[in-house]
Chains A and B, each alone.
Chain A
Amino acid sequence: MTDPTDITPAPDRGLGALLRETYAGRDDAAFVARLEAAFAAATAAPRSLWDQLGAWARPGLAAAAVALLAAGGYLGWQAAATGGLAPAGGDVAAVPEAANGGLVLLDAQGSEVLRSPVAPEPGVLLASLLETP
Chain B
Amino acid sequence: MARRYAAEARRVARVVLHDDADADDAVQDAFLSAWRNIARYDPARPFRPWLMRIVLNAARNVRRRERVRRAEPIAEAQPSPAASPEQETARALLRERLAAAMALLPERARLALMLFDAEGYTSGEIAEMLGRPEGTIRSDVFHARRVLRARLAPHLEDAS
- Report which A residues bind B (CB closer than 8 A): 1-2, 4-9, 11-13, 15-26, 28, 31-32, 34-36, 38-39, 42
Contacts and interface: CB of A to CB of B under 8 A. Distances in A.
A6 to B, nearest CB: 8
Contacts of B102: 19, 22
Contacts of A11: 116-117, 120
A1 B80 CA distance: 19
B20 to A, nearest CB: 6
A28 B139 contact: no
Contacts of B10: 23-25, 28, 31
B146 A7 contact: no
Decide if the interface of chain B is mainly helix, strand, loop or mixed: helix
A9 B137 CA distance: 12
Interface string B70-91: 0000101110100000000001
Contact of A15 (B27, B139, B145): B145
Interface in B106-160: 113-114, 116-120, 123, 138-139, 141-142, 145-146, 148-149, 152-153, 156
A13 B116 CA distance: 10
Interface stretch (B41-49, B57-65, B92-100): B92-100
A4 B142 contact: yes
7 contacts: A4-B142, A9-B145, A15-B113, A15-B148, A19-B118, A23-B99, A32-B2
Interface of B: 2-3, 6-7, 10-12, 14-15, 20, 23-24, 27-28, 31-32, 35-36, 74, 76-78, 80, 91, 94-95, 98-99, 102, 113-114, 116-120, 123, 138-139, 141-142, 145-146, 148-149, 152-153, 156
A35 B15 contact: no
Given A19-B98, A20-B118, A4 B11 contact: no
Identify which of A2, A20, A22, A42 gathers the most chain B CB atoms within 10 Å of its CB. A22
Contacts of B114: 19, 23
A34 B3 CA distance: 11
Contacts of B141: 9
A25 B7 contact: yes
Nearest to A2: B145
